[in-house]
Structure 1
Amino acid sequence: MTFGPLTRRRASVLLGATMLAGMAKPSFAQTEIRIIATGEPYSNAMKAAAKLFTERTGIAVTIDQYPYSEAYNKEVLLGTSGSDEYDIMVLDCIWLPLFVKNKWVQPFDPLEAKAKQKVDWAGFLPGIVDAYDRHDGQLYAAPIDFFIEVMAYRADLFAAAGLADAPKTWAEFKAYAEKLNQSEAGVYGVVTMPGEQDAGYSEWTVRLASLAMPPESNQFVWDKSFKSMLLQNGNGQKALDLWLEIKPFVAPGANEMGYAESTNAFMQGNGAMFINWYMTFSDVENPQASKVAGKVKYALPPRHTLEGPRHDYLGGFQAAISSKAKQPVEAYEFIAFLTSDEGQNLMLENGAPGAYRKFVYDDQKWLERYPFLAPVKQAETVVPLTSDFAEYVEMQRIIYDELFAAWTGKKSSADAMAAADASLNSLMQSLGYQKP
């Protein structure tokens, strides 16, 4: 999917008026929709949208929030036990294929036919629905949070060091990290996050995506026949070595840092550069919590070489409807409202920066409030993480364990990637994805 100029499909005020007219008379009095979500910014903002939805429809909306890993474990338990406790399950994009495979969530199409309000699929940012929400020709979820990885860098520290622009290659990134490293002043060249599975894996994949994509593949870890691509052209080791080479310039305590700890370190002024999924930078721009608010600029991550097309992984959270939902049609209608242009504005207004509607990227109001959105328009091709592989979390753990072993010096990068490659192929074979 190629990003070109993103145009507003229709003015959000017109869509808001349309939805207001269609939802003016409560028709589901005494009905309650229950939602399970993670604790990211989107779920807090969703409560504001839920309040307005309830005022218009009479449908009560209850949102329960859990920490990321705890939410995954609970949602898997809900699926395996056949629980009807929740109508909507908000899933990380890497979880959704497992829930579809096990029939823990239901397709939208039959519900859409019954609903008064329909999801405006055409208004989503191009490519993000097809990346994760469509399986075997049916839609199983809708995006309520979208992000790619973005580099944050301290403009004030760059200026003091005589650096005008963000590094464009990983070689420049390392050179900048060394130049900006001021350990005696408590400021380090880079903040990194190897201490948490998804975060550490992302440090590797953002570098992996800067290399040439393997043949017969639509992503970088395995090909379309589910054969491991980690050893293809040595890409897995190259990406790992690009990460390892910045170790002398990282903030202390990195081995224990995940998303929360690394973001806090950057917010406290401990690092000059930080690459992460852009959703985390909302806190960086909050002057009440961040010492570096107003001092940060944003760019797409570096590349291995400036030749050829660039690729960026896309992530996000998706709203799916439980196969055991007590109120499936009403749940669908809430998702339709939440994912409308009006719903998107409510999410942004209440601190959720993961803009999934394409109009946002031409709206100066939101680009000024969330400056890390601007680089998204410069992305060329965005790549899905999962490619319909249901056991993604298990695969990720296998590779992450090897990455962390290399980061902590217990294995060489070559040995770590050889072990990860063998384990990944073994997993793919045992699950029946990779044919003998």
Structure 2
Amino acid sequence: MMRVSLTTMTRRTAAMLLGATMLGAVSFATGPARAAEEIRIIATGEPYGLGLKAAAKVFEEKTGIKVSVDQFPYSDAYNKEVLLGTAGSDEYDLMVLDCIWLPIFVKNKWVQPLEPLEAKAKQKIEWNAFLPGIVDAYDVIDGQHWAAPIDFFIEVLAYRTDLFEKAGLKAPPKTWDEFKVYAEKLNDPANNVYGVVSMPGEQDGGYSEWTVRLASFPMPPDSTQFVWDRKFNAMLEHEGNGKKALDRWLEIKPFTAPGANEMGYAEATNAYMQGNGAMYINWYGFFPDIENPETSKVADKVAYALPPVETLDAKRHDYLGGYQIAIAANAPKPDAAYEFIAFVTSHEGQEIMLEAGASGAYRTDVYDNQKWLDKFPFLVPVKDTEVLVPLTSGLAEYVEMQRLIYDQLFAAWAGQKESGAAIAEANAGLDELMKSLGYQQ
């Protein structure tokens, strides 16, 4: 299997590998003293943190309970949260977790279910107010709620309206065939503009670019997503779809910028913001900076649509991602922690989050409010989704699974393997992994 250096490895993999080496005999320093009426939150460094801090101020005014929000870089946050859980620490009441982390935190009993707290709470979480599908995708495990959405996003196509107009293209590509044609037509290396910005150099980014194409094909039988079925059998070779999706990704390689092999989320987003690409598919959680004229040269030149599909007559599936807020197993103030979740996910809390710039709208009513659609235009395509598909689908060790597949995808991208051989090896490795973890009988 190809080795991937930490410089090109996704933050998620680096975090998982580092965290895994630290499990076992772990000591954890006692956190700073807290006020009598205070709850503490540990979170990653993403923009939703701005919203949490704004909501915390209003919550304190309403309840007298102080809320402290500590944000750390993505990998550091994961490592610290793993240490907190392993050590049985009571330093934090609330943890914000990437959706792909929550299953392993539930499996290891590092967070607690919300039902016992909800039963005695005055203000309850309005589960029916969330965008349909996002709670069931990640927050309900073994029939209990373990977290609530605090940030939500899907993959979206960003495209340059000025370049489209210049090329005589009147609408975004709707199929992958069109996407390739558009990429070639818009490719203009002489002016440092390329048809597509891609990010094969980072695990999660490259894997996502493949899965967004994989989701264009019919879902395998007895499955809730496209990589494995309900019995945890690998589905990468089902009807050749894994190879077809990889070939779709490889066909746009000639129209990507030089150095794409080293690009991840940050590098690709920056390249697009600097005007070096005509089209860019990514989780829309990375798009707020594109709309910011202080950071982006293309802020007034971008429109958004759902990614292309293989055929227009098939049912559409879109993967969903985001961050979830959970209560630590040893939270000193679990009742107050639940009360804060109920507040920040309420209509008022969502409005505060959006006003502060946290664009990952998780409540349905946001998508009928033109104010927010104007402020965050990349939210508009969400209304056109048909079926939202979870990433993890019952597998706690998601990052390990993703790394195994990404190694083969990148080998094909780098020209080290044929696409069919890469998918065959990934499929066999996935079956072996599922068996070793005890999922597959």
**Which TM-score applies when normalising by structure 1?**
0.92
> Which of these residues, 346, 370, 395, is aligned with residue 364 of structure 1?
370
**Deviation (angstroms), 1:73:** 2.2
Post-superposition shift, 1:386?
0.8
| Structure 2 partner of 1:147 | 153
Q: CA deviation at 1:273?
A: 0.2
**Paired residue for 2:104, among 75, 98, 101?**
98
Can you list the C-alpha shifts for 1:103-146, whole angstroms capped at 9, x where unaligned? 11100011112323211111111111111101111100000111
Secondary structure of the residue aligned to 2:292 is coil
1:169 aligned residue: 175
Equivalent position amino acid for 1:252 in 2: P
Deviation at 1:233, TM superposition (A): 0.8
1:433 positional shift:
0.5
Stretch moving more, 88-97 or 53-62: 53-62
Pair 1:215 & 2:254 matched: no
Equivalent residue number for residue 243 of structure 1: 249
1:5-51 Cα deviation digits (max 9, x unpaired)? xxxxxxxxxxxxxxxxxxxxxxx973221111111110122111111
Question: Bigger shift: 215-224 or 77-86?
Answer: 77-86
Amino acid in the other structure paired with 1:258: G
CA distance in 1, matches of 2:335, 2:359: 27
How far 1:414 moved relative to its partner? Answer: 1.3
1:130-187 deviations in Å (ceiling 9; x for gaps)? 1110111110000011111000000000000000000001111011000000111011
Q: Which of 36, 61, 68 does residue 30 from structure 1 map onto?
A: 36
The code of the aligned residue for 1:391 comes to E
SS in structure 2 opposite 1:64?
Answer: strand
Which residue is equivalent to 2:300?
294
Q: How many residues align?
A: 408
Structure 2 residues not aligned, in runs of 5+: 1-33
Instruction: State the secondary structure of the residue aligned to 2:287.
Output: helix
Are the equivalent residues in 2 in contact too, given 1:193–1:257 (CA < 8 A)?
A: yes
Matching residue of 2:429:
423
Report the CA distance between 1:408 and its aligned residue: 1.2
Q: Secondary structure at the match of 1:163?
A: coil
User: Where do residues 329-340 of structure 1 align in structure 2 (5 Å cutoff)?
Assistant: 329-340=335-346
Provide runs of 4+ in structure 1 moved above 6 Å.
none
In the alignment, residue 413 of structure 1 is paired with which amino acid?
S
Could you tell me which of 249, 260, 264 is aligned with 2:266?
A: 260
CA distance, structure 2, for counterparts of residue 235 and residue 165 of structure 1? 27
- Residue 43 of structure 1 corresponds to 49
Q: Which residue of 1 aligns with 2:239?
A: 233
User: 2:253 and 2:97 mapped to 1: Cα distance?
Assistant: 33
Q: Distance in 1 between matches of 2:116 and 2:195?
A: 52
Instruction: For structure 1, list consecutive stretches of 5 or more residues without a partner in the other structure.
Output: 1-27
Q: Provide the C-alpha distance between the structure 2 equivalents of 1:415 and 1:178, rounded to a whole number of angstroms.
A: 27
Q: Supply the distance in 2 between the matched residues of 1:428 and 1:170 (Cα, whole angstroms).
A: 31
The answer to whether 1:284 aligns with 2:313 is no
Tell me how large the CA RMSD over aligned residues is: 1.2
Give, in angstroms, the shift of residue 62 of structure 1.
Answer: 1.4
